[in-house]
Each structure stands twice: as structure tokens, then as C-alpha cells.
Amino acid sequence: MRGKIAGAFFCLLVTIFPPVMAAGVVNDIASSPSTLTSPDSRFSEDVIVYTAHQDWLSRIYILRMNGTVIDFFEYSFYFFADLEVVNNEAYVAEAFAPRAYRVDLLTGALDLVIDDWSLYYFYDLAFAGTYFYLNEWDLNRYDIDGNKDGMVSFDEAVHGGAWDGDYYWTLTDANLIKCWNVSTWPSVTEVPENAFAPPTSECRGLWFDGQYFWTAESIDGILGHIYQFNHRGAVINQWLEPAFRGWSACVIRATDFPAVPGAPSGPVTGETGIGYEFSTNTTDPEEDSVFFWFDWGDGANSGWLGPYASGDTCTASNSWSDPETYSVKVKAKDVYDHESDWSEALSITVYARGDCNGDGIVNVGDVLYLINYLYKDGSGPLPSWTGDVNCDREINLGDAVYLINYLFKNGPPPCEQ
């Protein structure tokens, strides 16, 4: 009941005093941070995201993996609690105004995702692939867009929640991490044999990185620790907190870019109207599936092709209608739309059959060129097949006659081999 009364009081404060956010504010609980300069909201290194509060101020810190501060954002009249990571983006629960936000870690901007004023507070936040789970005496479920999908009776005071791929885990105010099966929602079943104690009695927040849990200590007036620990509470790594009253910690992975694909492999000469295949491949550092985009050099492209497994070869085909030299290049992206740079280009020179003199036009000049080659020891067509106008695999008088018939007597155009 105390939590509900405090929550109602805080909701009133938020209504009267709108929250304010400031970036990189410095006081006695943190050293001066440097500003993030990652382009396009991408991180070039893994970072720890950490929430802390003092009085009516909350902060979201961004730390290097050695615990040093990269940046932080300060918010007035917020009380941030548990963190979650969805598609490598950070989400945070507001403890006393029952909301959850997606956080822009370059600007500190908050994108409201869940806003449920039928409740009083959210201390925990867990995402199970399709739904968020948030506890406020009852366990509440919401989809990724914040639409509520019901609640179940859940008489647990929870200070953090996490999803490990199979189970929902809670850090309770009784200093116990409990395990729950939510696959039969709207019923929830405890798995008591999996329960264990967190690293210390002051831990708040719970997050799972795919192998280990994370939490942060909330100690008034003393810098606590951020902990990474296993399913039995044994500490794997720990970091000194940059601010008092920590609540949660998670990790945002460095944005992984697929390697630049190899230059497309394929023919370097071709004929107008004929489709040619080009192949390439790339690898992704996180083994994500990848897509490929071919630029054909004439304003056309393949669009995104895939997905392909990391390392697999992608093959695409194209034809050109005009004789010219084209630069074919390709780029890749992973399933999170992280794009590579363009590959080196492959040049393909496309010729027109019948363009014997190589000037890009099939006209009477080609007839004269062909006759000069056949009867006056003139230079031959390059490539030679451009002179095989009737596709009989020989260059002779029949090709000159075929070409004259096409140009002056509405005969069929040069054949396509």
C-alpha cells in the first residue's frame, strides 16, 4: 500500500511539474563526461547503460565496458527503474509514473511506449520477444506498441524483471530472484527450484544478456556496484557505480556492420538485351543474416535481396539495353538495417550485335565496316561476335546482307545469341 500511495503522490508531482531533461549535467556524483559522437546513432563499442537517482532527479548513464563514463542525461521529476534491451535499443521503466520509454542514447530523448495510468508504479521491465512484462502487484503484459494484453494476479513486490529466453525472472524486495513460467499466460507458474539470491541485499533492477544477469546496487550516500552474475548469484564481473542510488544496468552492443561485400564477380563484356549473373558474399560479425543490393550502373538496382546466411553467396542477374560501359557494385545490410559501404565496382562493357565499328550505333557505317573487313583486309569487329549479325557463328557476306535487310528493308534485327 505504501508503494501505491507514493506512486499516486509522484503522479501528482509529475502532473504539476513537467519532467525536464538535461544532457551532461555535472555535479558531485559524477565527473565531467565526454560527448558521444557515434554517427547515425551507432556505437562503435559495447556500452553499459545504467540508471541512477537522487532525490527527484534521475540519470541515464552510458559507460564504457571498463566502467568509465562516456555520457549521461539528467531528468527532473523522473524516477527511472528497470532497464530492458529490445533490438539493441534501451528501454526504461518509470517507477512512480506507470510508463515505459524507449531511450535515444545519443540525445537522451524519451519515446513513450507504455502509458498505463490505471496503475500506480512500474519497478521492473522485461521483454519476452513479443510482450513486455511489468509488475505492479499484478503482472501486466503489453505488446511492443504499448497495447495492454491483460494482467494476472501476482502478489510480489518486484524490484526488477528479466527474460532469459525461457522464463521470466523477478528480483523481489525479499532479496530473492525468482523464476516464473509465463508460457501459459494468463496463468503464471513459479519454478521454485530455480530461485537464488542476488549478489547483495541492495540490488535493484534485473537484466539478462543471453548468458548472465545484471543488476545495480541502490545505497544512499555510498557508491555501490554494478554486477554481472550467473544463475546462482556468483559474480562474474563488477564495476563501481558512477552515482549513488543505482537501479539497473544493461549492455547495448556495438552496432555490427556487415563486412563490405567483395566486388561482384561476373562477365566484363556482354551483349545488349542478354541477362548476366553477378555474385558476391559477405560476413556479419554477429552472424546475422544479410541482404544485398546491386547497383547496375544505369540508374537501376536489384532492391534488397535475401536474407542470406553470413558467408553465403548471393547471385543476381541484369541486362542492359544500351551499349556502354557500366560499373556494377553491391552493398549489404543485416537484419537490423545496418548497412555496409559499397563494394569495389566491376566494369562490364555492353556491346550491341551489329555495331561492328563500336560507335554505339547500328547503321550503314557498320555495313561498310563489315565489308571492308571481309574484302579489303580492314580491322575486324571488336568483340568479334558483334559482326555475327545472323548468329550462325560465322562472319561472312551473309551478315552484311542481313544487316542491309534490317536497315533498309524492315528485316529482323540482329539476333540475340
393 phi-psi bin (left φ>0, alpha ψ -120 to 50, beta other): left
The overall average pLDDT reported for the chain is 87
| CATH 2.60.40.10 domain range(s) in the chain | 269-351
What is the pLDDT, as a whole number, of residue 14?
43
How far is residue 3 CA from its own chain's centroid?
Answer: 37
User: Measured between alpha carbons, how far is residue 169 from residues 103, 116, 223 in Å?
Assistant: 23, 22, 26
pLDDT tens string 202-218: 999 999 998 999 999 99
Fold of 269-351: Immunoglobulin-like (2.60.40)
What is the pLDDT, as a whole number, of residue 417?
63
Describe the crossing of helices 397-408 and 364-375 by its angle, rounded to 10 degrees: 170
Instruction: Please classify residue 24 by burial: count the beta carbons closer than 10 Å to its beta carbon, then call 0-12 exposed, 13-18 middle and 19+ buried.
Output: middle
pLDDT tens string 374-387: 999 889 888 888 88
| CATH 2.120.10.100 domain range(s) in the chain | 2-252
Query: Does 7 score more than 50 pLDDT?
Result: no
Which range (17-31, 264-278, 287-301, 349-363) has the least confidence? 17-31
DSSP state, 34?
A: P
Residue ranges of alpha helices (H) inside 51-152 are: none
d(CA 283, CA 23): 37
Query: Does 83 score more than 50 pLDDT?
Result: yes
pLDDT tens string 387-404: 888 888 898 999 889 989
User: Could you give the percent of the chain with pLDDT greater than 90?
Assistant: 61
Beta-strand runs (E) in 234-296: 235-240, 246-252, 269-271, 276-281, 290-295
The amino acid at 161: G
CATH 2.120.10.100 correct for 2-252: yes
Contact (CB, 8 A) for 394 and 402:
no
Query: Does 174 score more than 60 pLDDT?
Result: yes
Three-state DSSP state, 386: helix
